[in-house]
Amino acid sequence: MQLTSIRVTHFRSLYQTEWIQFRDLSVLIGENDGGKTATLDALEILLGSRQPDTEDFSYMPGSTPDEHDVIPHEQYMLIEGKFRPTETEKTEVTKSAPLEDDCLHIQKSFNSGEQPKILVVGQVPVDERLRIDFESENIATLRTLAGELGLGIGGQSKQPFVDAIRKYKDGQPTTQGTVAFPNSIKPLLPEFTRFSSASDPTSVVSGVLRTIFKQEIEKPENSGHLLKVQENITTKLREEAAALNPFVRKYRPEVKSVSVDTEFNFESGFKTIELRLRDQNDRPILLKKRGTGVQKHITLAVYEWSSEILKKRQNEGARPLILALDEPDTSLDYQSQRKLFDIIQGFVSPLVQIVICTHSVNLINRVPVEKLNYYALDPSRTKSSVESFVPDSTNLEEVEFFLHRLGDGLGLHHALMFYERCFLLFEGKTEETAIPIIFKLCTGQDTYTKGVRLVNSYDNYGAVVFAKFLHKHKRKVVFAVDQDTTRNKGVARHLTQDALNRAGFNIPQQVYFVCPDHFEYSFSDEVWAKVLRAETKYDGWTPEKVASLRAPPQGFVDKLLRESGIPNKPKLGLALAKNLSDPSDVPECLRNCIYKAVEMAQ
């Protein structure tokens, strides 16, 4: 059974999320304290025995500290998950619980100071007597129920009662509701394993061996005498730990041996001692006192070993696993990050889902965008929202086309599409070199500092379609378009007012027409004269001389280039921008567009 989504209410910054989608590999990205780690904690609570404490309940909206500096918390918490069973698992699940859209929908709720309640959501019988788990009830209860239903079942065997009542239930009317979570389907749910510090090799070893420990203790052959069970499991754990040797030696040949003193007993449970390494002279290698290069290599070795262990685990019939890695790339260099991600991708299988929290742009840009979830805090920094480019209704082929092909062509990688808060599209080679400098002149900061990404569309239909796609997925987009695009020139124009209206963009809120006519023409004669005098060192450039080049406007740029000796439009844009001294030198229409982009990026 695989996790498809979770929804969280009143858990830390996850105050009230929509359904957060999960796939075979899911990467959680976004700002610090935005809810990435909280999502892992919520999964751990949903799938394990961990209980939330008082501080895990969200702060009440608008609340302020009391006289004891205590901020009121919500008293109710709900964590929900949807899990897709295999065809074989469906048969087992539907014996005792409903499915919702072919998924098992589980709710785990907490009221402060009370025991948690676990329910299954779906179409349940209108008759509440039929909402019990027949398999777990005793025969006396089933006999009484069969009598009430008039089924006429007798005998001392339980199974005929179960079969008859279940058959009766299948023909009864249903309604949307809940039933108690049946313990019989708990073994079908995935285990949740988390590396407490995924960049620490000791933590990774401990996490993997702990997973093996859980698997071993559930095996039938270990259900006999306690001492024999302890011996079997301890032997198994030490065998798996010993297999780490060749992986470490692959990266660090000077290491002679690797050992993990692993122990299990029923009194103290599972226990691992620190990872121990020795060199060729049998001297201990203390990882904490070695350079980062050694530690990086050991980390990669441990992940390769983990991959082999998890593959073997699947062959032994283990339960599905959700493996959570919290910033596994911390302190790794670029090449090591690439290698680590290749190894982690190898973990993914029908029985293993991977969830990664990361800030690594390198990793983010290598993951298919439909597997990214972006976390952002609201202005109060108490509530998180989770964004994705790919809700369930989105065609993944469309995503592949827009985000991988067009995005790459425009220089927009995955990290930029999530982290940049506004995209300012323009067209033209002069604008490409001028606008970044003009932006800083008008705002006092660079575009990346303000969260604005500049995109040159080159009058490209694909760029407009791409902008429309971003707009559809709630990315903020603004255009700076030459006014002359509004005129019909007898050629295909994709940035005209009509075309942008049809694409769903708001004029004038998102589209600013640079006028008169086009970008270069919009700057005054006085500004151009100042720019050209500075650039050519020729005092003959006067406003009157510039004015003489403006008629007709279509030839203005060609005349500027020819008369000034500036070789091309990019050089012209650079000369223009770097010689502007005040925002008032910039045409009002362009200033307004820049200020709007900054406002939208807030």
Q: Where are the domains of the chain?
A: 2-20+41-187, 192-318, 414-600
**What is residue 262's three-state secondary structure?**
strand
**Confidence band of 265 (pLDDT split at 50, 70, 90):** low
Per the model's pLDDT, the better-predicted residue between 335 and 20 turns out to be: 20
From 54, 56, 72, select the one nearest 64 (Cα to Cα): 72
pTM: 0.71
- pLDDT tens-digit readout, 217-254: 777 777 666 677 778 887 888 888 888 889 988 888 88
Instruction: In whole angstroms, give the CA distance from residue 248 to residue 294.
Output: 10
Are 587 and 513 in contact, with CB atoms under 8 Å apart? no
Q: Does 552 sit behind a cis peptide bond, omega within 30 degrees of 0 on the bond before it?
A: yes
- pLDDT tens-digit readout, 296-322: 788 888 888 888 888 887 777 778 999
321-326 vs 191-195, strand pairing mode? parallel
The pLDDT value given to residue 584: 94
**Confidence band of 572 (pLDDT split at 50, 70, 90):** very high
- pLDDT tens-digit readout, 70-105: 788 899 999 999 999 999 999 889 888 999 999 999
Residue 393 clears pLDDT 50, i.e. is over it = no
| 59 DSSP assignment | B
Mean pLDDT of 161-165: 90
Instruction: In whole angstroms, give the CA distance from residue 306 to residue 316.
Output: 15
Instruction: In whole angstroms, give the CA distance from residue 358 to residue 326.
Output: 7
Q: Which is it for the CA torsion 284, 287, 292, 293, positive or negative?
A: positive
Residue 28 clears pLDDT 80, i.e. is over it = yes
- pLDDT tens-digit readout, 114-124: 889 999 999 99
Please state, for a pLDDT cut of 70, what percent of the chain lies above it: 87
Are 133 and 95 in contact, with CB atoms under 8 Å apart? no
Per the model's pLDDT, the better-predicted residue between 64 and 266 turns out to be: 64
Are 247 and 304 in contact, with CB atoms under 8 Å apart? yes
N-to-C CA span, the chain: 41
Instruction: In whole angstroms, give the CA distance from residue 216 to residue 583.
Output: 70
The number of residues in the chain equals 602
Query: From residue 484, how far is each of 175, 435, 510, 516, 520 by CA, in Å?
Result: 61, 19, 18, 8, 12
- pLDDT tens-digit readout, 118-146: 999 999 999 999 988 888 888 999 999 99
**What is residue 426's three-state secondary structure?**
strand
Q: Give CA torsion, residues 452, 457, 458, 463, to 10 deg.
A: 170
Residue 196 clears pLDDT 70, i.e. is over it = no
Which residues contact residue 349 at a Cβ distance below 8 angstroms, ignoring those fewer than 6 apart? 24, 310, 311, 314
Range in 145-149, 421-425, 497-501 with the lowest mean pLDDT:
497-501
**What is residue 477's three-state secondary structure?**
strand
Mean pLDDT across the chain, nearest whole number? 83
The pLDDT value given to residue 490: 43
Which residues contact residue 33 at a Cβ distance below 8 angstroms, ignoring those fewer than 6 apart? 13, 377, 381
Q: Which helix (H) or strand (E) segment is 314 a member of?
A: helix 292-315
From 446, 327, 284, select the one nearest 27 (Cα to Cα): 327
